[in-house]
Structure formats: C-alpha cells, structure tokens
Amino acid sequence: MTKVILEQAVPAEWVDQVFEKHRQRQYPRELLFSTIVELMSLVSLGLRPSLHAAARQMEDLPVSLAALYDKVSRTEPALLRALVTGSAERLAPTIKELGHSAILPGWQLRVVDGNHLPSSEKRLGALRRERGAARPGFSVVVYDPDLDQVVDLQPCEDAYASERVSVLPLLEKASAGQLWMADRLYCTLPVMGACEDTGASFIIREQSKHPRLLKEGDWQEPIAVAAGSVREQIIEVKGGCQWRRVELKLQKPTESGDTTLLFWSNLPDSISAEQIADLYRRRWSIEGMFQRLEAVLDSEIETLGNPKAALLGFASAVLAYNVLAVLKRSVEQAHRQ
C-alpha cells in the first residue's frame, strides 16, 4: 500500500518533469533530480543517517559524492514549492475517494505558519569564524486540516527574512470559498488585503501593534460559550475595508497568560462570532503537524548547513508526511471500529 501511494505521489518520471518545467539555472546531466529526491527521502524517513550514507549505499549512483553535494546545494526553492503542491494535487483524488469530513462545510480551510530550521553546526565557509551557529532557512507552510495535507510551501533561504512578506506569494493562489487562518504575526494590511483581493476569507489573531483602526463600531452583547464569552464589533481600516473583530474572553488563561483573544475576520454574517472563535482553535492543528514532522520524520537534518540543501531536506519530509497521512486515513477507513 505504501508503494502504491508513493508511486502516485512522487513517481520518478513526474519528479523529473517538474524539474524540467520549473528549473531556472540548474540543468540535468548524469544525475537526475528524482535520484536526489529519493536519496533525501531516505534520510528524512530515518532509513539512512545522512545524505552521505544514503549515497554510499546506493549501488548505481552515476556521479561522485562531491558532484551530488554540489547538485543538492544548488536546489532552487521554486522547485521545492512545485514538488510539494504538485504532489498534494496528485494525492487529492485518492483522499476524496477515501472520504473526509469538513470542519466548516462548504469551505476549504488553509492554516498558515512558518517553520524555522534549527541552527546547524555544519558551517559554511563564510561563517566558520562566527561563534554562533547560523540558521539555514525557513519555510512558510500552508496546511489543510480537513485533508491532513501540506498543500503549499514557500521556502526561504534567508532565515531572518520576514514571514509576513514570504506569505504573500502563497496568497496569490487563494480563491473564493477558502478560509485562511493565521497567528497574530500575520495581522497586517498586506496579508489581509491579499485575501480580500482574491475573494478568500480569513481569521487572523490581533497583535498589539495591529493596523490603525479608522472606525470602531459598538460591541454587541456578549454570548456565553464553553471557553468563556464572545462578542464582536465592526471595524474599518485604511482603504475603506470593513471587517469583523471578535473578542473571546477566557475563563482560564492560555499558557502565555492571555485571558482575552481578539480576531479579525471578513467572513460573512452567516458564520457566527462563536464559530469564528472556535475555528481559530483549528490553527493549532498545524503545530501538531510540525510536531509529527519532527517526531516521526527527520525533517531537520542538522548535517545540512547549506540553506538550499536544508530546505530540500525539509521539503522531502513534507512529501513523506503527506504520504503517511494518506496511509493513516486509509487504515482508519478500513478499520473504523
């Protein structure tokens, strides 16, 4: 069953087609991109301790180890995004056939968050005189909690670049009928405006330095919910956009000590304030996905210090996670009781 799903998700021929379509400066010679993905997947799955070990145990590797590392260190981020999105699209019909429940019927949920790779002791030449280990990069990930799939990925080689800027290319693919949810880091006018422009809806937690409000409507009467009480008001921001602002007062404070949570949303009135507050809790599902990536798969390969190589390692773990999620769903459907 695993072999069948792998052949559907990342067949070698398709991987090489993706490489040909999205490559910019790279070119294939003796070493195919599908071979690189295969080797890196062995490391992400924990079947090999390192890329070096995976290459040494591969009988028909057509190039030297130096040529392999050179190829890996030149992997372009656009290739990784195309690989993840394309693989998720290839698995979608299988998941549809297996069946899945919708958290919010009639809507596609998209949970966004950044995943920063840890500092690596594998130093690049330019950093060998520095005392602190450098981070090799990060990725902004789009997760579908209904499908339990990573459906999009924006890799970034600069670990200290802005996540708020890096998420914008992902929002270009947003569409009507989608609900994007994100933490307060993304509570900016460009992010929320990008959702508005594409017709997508959003729920984003308010941060202390949120965009300036031009108008604030009256608060509605609070409604009791299981976690505390909820109320909402209408707000207006620069550009004339009028959105909903939902306040959730908690009976018990969060781990960080917060007793009041505020959310901004442009969802229609048919979705109540109580639903908005409850839906935001689903944002934590991406945290659980990241934890499974680290616990079950080797998504953070410390021996890879080059940003392009480290991001390739993370992307290969994401591909493996999506395959694992389909396997899990298949077993659940067959043995539901």
Q: What is the structure's pLDDT at 306?
A: 79
**Residue (of 52, 5, 11, 8) closest to 32 by Cα position:** 11
Q: What is the structure's pLDDT at 100?
A: 82
- 38-94, pLDDT tens digit by residue? 888 888 877 888 888 989 998 888 888 888 888 888 888 899 999 999 999 999 999
Structure tokens at 81: 């995004």
The terminus-to-terminus CA distance of the chain in angstroms comes to 21
State yes or no: pLDDT of 11 exceeds 60: yes
State yes or no: pLDDT of 229 exceeds 80: yes
Whole-prediction pTM = 0.88
- Pair 44, 297: CB distance under 8 Å: yes
Pairing of strands 201-205, 178-182: parallel
- Pair 127, 134: CB distance under 8 Å: yes
Structure tokens at 260: 């009041």
Helices 284-296 and 307-334 cross at an angle (nearest 10°) of: 100
Cα dihedral 188, 191, 197, 203, rounded to 10, equals -80
- Pair 149, 95: CB distance under 8 Å: yes
Q: 3-state class of 3 per DSSP?
A: helix
Q: What is the structure's pLDDT at 128?
A: 47
- 87-137, pLDDT tens digit by residue? 999 999 999 998 888 999 999 999 999 988 765 544 445 544 554 455 678
Chain centre distance of CA 174: 14
In the chain, what percentage of residues exceed pLDDT 90? 53
pLDDT band at 13 (very low <50, low <70, confident <90, very high): very high
- 236-276, pLDDT tens digit by residue? 999 889 999 999 999 888 888 889 999 999 999 999 999 99
Residues 6+ apart with CB under 8 A from 329: 95, 98, 100, 148
Q: What is the structure's pLDDT at 134?
A: 57
- Pair 44, 301: CB distance under 8 Å: yes
Q: How many residues belong to the chain? A: 337
- Which helix (H) or strand (E) segment holds residue 109: the answer is strand 108-116
- 191-216, pLDDT tens digit by residue? 999 999 999 999 999 998 899 999 99
Mean pLDDT of the chain: 87
Question: What are the domain boundaries of the chain?
Answer: 1-99+297-337
CA atoms within 13 A on the CB side of 268: 8
